[in-house]
Amino acid sequence: MAGESSQRPPENDVDEEFVDDSASDDVLSIEANAVVPDLFTTPAPVRDALATATSQAQDETVRECVPLLAAMDSDIEYNAHGVPSLLRENHIRFLQKQLGRFPAPYVAADASRPWFLYWSLNALALLGFDTAVYREDLIKTVRTMQNPSGGIGGGHGQNSHLATTYAVVLALAIVGGEDAYEAIDRKSMWRWLCSLKQPSGGIQMTLGGEVDVRGAYCAAVIVTLLNLPLDLSTDSPAWTPERPTLFTGLADYVRRCQTFEGGISGKPDGEAHGAYAFCALGCLSILDTPHRIIPKYLDVPRLISWLSSRQYAPEGGFSGRTNKLVDGCYSHWVGGCWPLIDAVLKGASELEDQPIEGRFSPHQSSLYSREGLIRYILCCGQDRSKRGGLRDKPSRPSDAYHTCYVLSGLSSAQHQWDLTYVNEDETILPGPKWVVSPSTDGTQIFDEEDRVGTIHPVYTIPQESVDDMMAYFASRQGF
């Protein structure tokens, strides 16, 4: 034992690379409202002594967030938990403007028009606005974007792309109705998707374009919402005499995108990114139920570790990559991963015939701080000026993209999704169905009037929109 003691370092030895710098002039110190937990008002006590552009940007982000999180602005009304209200009407007006005419400089975003439609309509639906009033105009707009060869481009005469096609299909599902559904040429859509399928198992984003996990997710969403045939056309690059399908090899392609960190990259050997993690989990959850397929193709413990590392304190929001800043959009891209991870953990424990490999213990509380995310969104994510909308962080302007995904993250944090098995027909086996309820994890820190609507955890549009579109095309015979 004496030998072991001699190996101990002197008590006054300090690792100079990491120091307690909480009292430094470089770190913000502010007197916060007593109802706000210190976790969300106090900078991290242990900081790296080496200053870099990354650490300086992180410090600046903390400086701009903590005063808002501290609930000390006399011009803002806070509830009993130090949380401001959701400026619902301001955000609705902002989104309505996004569906109108843009000034000339927006010509640079012309190819993103389908995204503006989806972002704005989905956010309006989350805020409780009846989007059906936009149905007729949306149908007219979409018809000019659809190509005879299949798929939808960013505008008239532009090449079809999976991202813009995905956005338009979701927008049509949101407004709903037979006329909206029939605006899609399903037969040409199927042929176009077949032309994108690759022998590697992945799917191109556009003809001759990149193959990545976005393509896997977008294609899976489109195929299942429109009830397209899975069989490949014989002129598909991936067709062989073994008759593969649109989904053949897709899960294995997703598997190859998991990185050494545990997160998911856009393609094999890339950098892990929050949006790709959601695309990967969403794709797999379409191919099969999450508790069966996700542990089969992904290292779930490592993925959970990586996702957990994306939430920061004191901000409470998520970053999208290692050593990056929090950004409101990851309220969905990372926050939206948790319902699918929950389905893995809970579902595996319910099936007795599940093999030991890949089984996980159920858990009672959330794997992330719902309170932290809600505080970041309502305190830091809202543009409280007349402009309205939601944003990346306080120093950034609001836009349709962030408004959609910040509200989506707020919805996920406010609600609990459970995958249950519903036997709607006694002649067939029970099918999985997502069921939503208000989250009961911890104290509700937001006022009930600030609860937003819900979106399907896989398809990222209201669940009734998913159900209605699927039911419509399920009743169709052929194209």
Q: Active-site positions?
A: 273, 321, 324, 327, 329-330, 392, 399, 402
| Residue 45: both structure tokens together | 């006590």
Q: What is the rounded distance in angstroms from the CA atom of residue 96 to the CA atom of residue 90?
A: 10
Output the CA–CA distances (angstroms, integers) from residue 285 to 63, 280, 414, in the order listed.
Answer: 39, 9, 22
Q: How many beta carbons lie within 10 A of that of residue 208, not counting itself?
A: 8
Q: What is the rounded distance in angstroms from the CA atom of residue 24 to the CA atom of residue 49?
A: 11
CB 178 within 8 A of CB 167: no
How many residues would you count in the chain?
A: 479
| Residue 34: both structure tokens together | 């007593």
Output the CA–CA distances (angstroms, integers) from residue 48 to 19, 41, 45, 53, 242, in the order listed.
Answer: 6, 19, 10, 13, 56
Q: How many beta carbons lie within 10 A of that of residue 76, not counting itself?
A: 12
Q: Mapping DSSP to helix (H, G, I), strand (E, B) and coil, where does residue 431 land?
A: strand
Largest CA-CA distance found in the chain, in angstroms, rounded: 84
Q: What is the rounded distance in angstroms from the CA atom of residue 61 to the CA atom of residue 28?
A: 11
CB 411 within 8 A of CB 454: yes
Residues 6 or more apart whose CB falls under 8 angstroms from that of 198 comprise 204, 211, 237, 238
B/e letters for 263-275, b = 16+ CB within 10 Å, e = fewer, are bbbbbbeeebbbb
Output the CA–CA distances (angstroms, integers) from residue 148 to 141, 145, 170, 230, 476, in the order listed.
Answer: 15, 10, 20, 21, 21
Q: What is the rounded distance in angstroms from the CA atom of residue 138 to the CA atom of residue 99?
A: 10
**Running DSSP on this structure, what letter comes out for residue 60?**
H
Place of tokens 């190509």: 147
